[in-house]
Amino acid sequence: MNHNTRGEPMRLLIHSAKQIVQVTSGREKVLKGAQMKNIKILHAKPGDGLSIVINRLGDIEAVGFDTEISAKFRTNVFERRVDASDQCVLPGFVDAHTHPIWAGDRVHEFRMKLAGASYMDIHNAGGGIHYTVEHTKRASEETLFRSLRDRLLRMTKAGTTVAECKSGYGLNADTELKMLRVLERAKRELTFVDISITFCGAHAIPKEMTEETATKAIINDQLPAIARAIRLGEISVDNIDVFCEKGVFELESTKRILEAGKTMGLRVNFHADEIYPLGGAEMGASIGAEVMSHLEKISDKAIHEMAKYEGIAVVLPTTAYILKLESPPVRKMIDANVPIALGSDFNPNAFCLAMPMVMHMACILFKMSLEEALVASTINAAASLGMSETHGSIEVGKKGDLVLVDVPTWEHLVYQFGEHDHLIQMVIKDGLVAYDKS
Ligand SMILES: N=CN[C@@H](CCC(=O)O)C(=O)O
Ligand SMILES: [Zn+2]
């Protein structure tokens, strides 16, 4: 308990829990290598459960046994008390990679893929991202906001309290700005989730352009328009992304766009080496990219380089599964001390919003351990967004973002595939109830 909080009203007391999965307890900002296996867990003692106190700023004030906490806080009034008997408490999940704002689903392409078409076949024939762009261009801001809110709420019900959210279905300044305004509105209005906003105008080459003209349009038209809107306080942008892939934005164009974003103060967080081993991650490492996603085809050299400067690898099991891609070499990356984070990659190609399912798939497809999958969905995912000082673990001083789960031990949330709706009882965001199953 911090000094001078004696007697102050507190926002929330959670008590009687049987496990608190803190993940970290020493203010670690990111975990790598063998550290990803060693998570911090508190266990209730016979007759003494576990408590968490959250103050009126929404920050964690104390974590400990019920008896200690009730003695320390005997003079404090709690705005709300939650009895977590028989429940395990985990940090809110951080989804490190999502494309949640778009109109026009692609269920027809799911059918085409089942019949044998590849992702790039569909993309090159004008479908895929291009199909979603056409629908997103025509959608109003209000329509986009409503569907975004609904998707984010569904994520939160599955335990997500922080999500990285990309634009990228505009491909021109007007529609990209429209998407970024909607994301900004969500960031300001929605209290159940924190959002890290990513500009992904380089998500595909518009049909009427070449790679070169599209690159110039992003650097000379979209980025300046975004910088202007940021200056006017209309939007905020945290990260810059490019779909760096053979036949989309290749190495040279990707580098130019990322460097232009970097000059604007954006964090570099881009799609690399997903389908073809283009060398995207080597290029990313050469410019010190904070984060690279996918990495199915990452080279050994890039793994080595990322480990040297602690570049974070965001791996995406839903996409690898749906597109039947070879898995990224996650074990090799962990052994080399590259910090790994997980994302749902929610998008019209990979319609999955639930981090418990992502963790399960990461264990099976990418051979991650349960602990590694949890670290990758909490502290490391927060680190990928530059937010791990405040999010991603249950520690005093951090944000009160929690998931309360009715399971014998926390591992059940990952083990019981697809059962998160049944198991998650409550999600807390900044000490307020964001979702209550009862
Ligand atoms: N690969 C590029 N971007 C997305 C897919 C976007 C889409 O197909 O609409 C991804 O991360 O998987
Ligand atoms: Zn993506």
Residues 46 and 191 in one domain: no
Residue 126 within any structural domain of the chain: yes
Which atom of ligand 1 lies closest to the CA of 132? Answer: 9
Please tell me the distance between residue 129's alpha carbon and the centre of ligand 1 in angstroms: 7
Closest ligand relative to 272 C-alpha: 1
Please tell me the distance between residue 312's alpha carbon and the centre of ligand 2 in angstroms: 15
Which atom of ligand 1 lies closest to the CA of 319? Answer: 12
User: Nearest Cα to 358, choosing from 14, 94, 47, 83?
Assistant: 94
> What is the mean predicted confidence (pLDDT) over 79-95?
98
User: Nearest Cα to 189, choosing from 143, 149, 239?
Assistant: 149
> What is the mean predicted confidence (pLDDT) over 417-428?
98
Which atom of ligand 1 lies closest to the CA of 294? Answer: 11
pLDDT for residue 336: 98
Residue minimizing CA distance to atom 2 of ligand 1:
243
* 146, pLDDT greater than 50: yes
Ligand 1: residue of 203, 254, 297 to mutate (most ligand atoms within 8 A of CB) is 203
Residues 118 and 82 in one domain: no
ipTM, 2 decimals? 0.97
* 362, pLDDT greater than 90: yes
Q: Which of 342, 362, 384 is the last residue of a domain?
A: 384
Please tell me the distance between residue 387's alpha carbon and the centre of ligand 2 in angstroms: 20
> What is the mean predicted confidence (pLDDT) over 147-154?
98
Q: Which residue has the tokens 């399971």?
A: 407
Residue 432 within any structural domain of the chain: yes
**Beta pairing class for 50-54 and 60-65:** antiparallel
- pTM for the full model? 0.98
Q: Which two tokens stand for residue 239?
A: 């990260």
pLDDT for residue 1: 46
Q: Which two tokens stand for residue 276?
A: 């073809």
> What is the mean predicted confidence (pLDDT) over 72-98?
97
Q: Is 322 exposed, middle or buried (0-12, 13-18, 19+ CB in 10 A)?
A: middle
Residue minimizing CA distance to atom 1 of ligand 1:
243
Please tell me the distance between residue 343's alpha carbon and the centre of ligand 1 in angstroms: 12
DSSP 221: I
Residues 114 and 255 in one domain: yes
Mean residue pLDDT of the chain comes to 97
Which helix (H) or strand (E) segment holds residue 254: the answer is: helix 251-263
Instruction: Return the CATH number at 302.
Output: 3.20.20.140
Q: In 154-243, where do the E strands start and end?
A: 160-166, 194-202, 239-242
* 4, pLDDT greater than 70: no
pLDDT for residue 322: 96
Please tell me the distance between residue 82's alpha carbon and the centre of ligand 2 in angstroms: 37
pLDDT for residue 6: 72
Residues 31 and 116 in one domain: no
Residues 55 and 106 in one domain: no
* 261, pLDDT greater than 90: yes
pLDDT for residue 50: 98
State pLDDT tens for residues 31-84: 999 999 999 999 999 999 999 999 999 999 999 999 999 999 999 999 999 999
Residues 82 and 122 in one domain: no
- Look up the domain containing 158 and give its range: 93-384
Residues 281 and 349 in one domain: yes
Domain total in the chain: 2
Q: Which of 360, 384, 408 is the last residue of a domain?
A: 384
28 CB contacts (<8 Å, ≥6 apart)? 35, 379, 393
Backbone phi, psi, residue 52, to 5°: -135, 135
Residues 273 and 195 in one domain: yes
* 411, pLDDT greater than 70: yes
Q: Which residue has the tokens 């779909």?
A: 243
Which atom of ligand 1 lies closest to the CA of 128? Answer: 8
Residue 5 within any structural domain of the chain: no
* 190, pLDDT greater than 70: yes
Residue 389 within any structural domain of the chain: no
Q: Which of 341, 361, 384 is the last residue of a domain?
A: 384
Strands of the sheet with 10-17, listed across from one edge: 60-65, 50-54, 10-17, 78-83
Q: Which two tokens stand for residue 133?
A: 């762009």
State pLDDT tens for residues 363-374: 999 999 999 999
**Beta pairing class for 402-405 and 88-91:** antiparallel
pLDDT for residue 387: 98
Please tell me the distance between residue 211's alpha carbon and the centre of ligand 2 in angstroms: 19
66 CB contacts (<8 Å, ≥6 apart)? 15, 16, 48, 49, 50, 51
CA angle 123, 110, 326 (to 5 degrees): 75
Residue 110 amino acid letter: F
Residues 318 and 414 in one domain: no
User: Nearest Cα to 266, choosing from 235, 293, 239?
Assistant: 239
Question: In the structure, which protein residues have their CB atom closer than 6 angstroms to any atom of ligand 1?
Answer: 99, 128-129, 132, 243, 271, 274, 319, 345, 347-350
Please tell me the distance between residue 271's alpha carbon and the centre of ligand 1 in angstroms: 9
Residue minimizing CA distance to atom 11 of ligand 1:
345
Residues 211 and 65 in one domain: no
Which residue would you say has higher pLDDT here, 7 or 205?
A: 205
* 3, pLDDT greater than 80: no
Residue 229 within any structural domain of the chain: yes
Ligand 1: residue of 106, 179, 271 to mutate (most ligand atoms within 8 A of CB) is 271
Residue 149 within any structural domain of the chain: yes
Closest ligand relative to 129 C-alpha: 1
Residues 295 and 331 in one domain: yes
pLDDT for residue 43: 98
Q: In 93-203, where do the E strands start and end?
A: 93-95, 160-166, 194-202
- The rounded distance, in Å, linking the Cα atoms of 341 and 350 is 18
Find out whether 201 and 221 touch, Cβ atoms under 8 Å.
Answer: no
Instruction: Return the CATH number at 44.
Output: 2.30.40.10
Q: Which two tokens stand for residue 86?
A: 């028989």
Which helix (H) or strand (E) segment holds residue 425: the answer is: strand 424-429
Residues 204 and 352 in one domain: yes
Q: Which two tokens stand for residue 102?
A: 């778009």
CA angle 169, 114, 128 (to 5 degrees): 15
Residue 345 within any structural domain of the chain: yes
* 282, pLDDT greater than 80: yes
Please tell me the distance between residue 292's alpha carbon and the centre of ligand 2 in angstroms: 10
Which helix (H) or strand (E) segment holds residue 432: the answer is: strand 432-436
pLDDT for residue 303: 98
Residue 2 within any structural domain of the chain: no
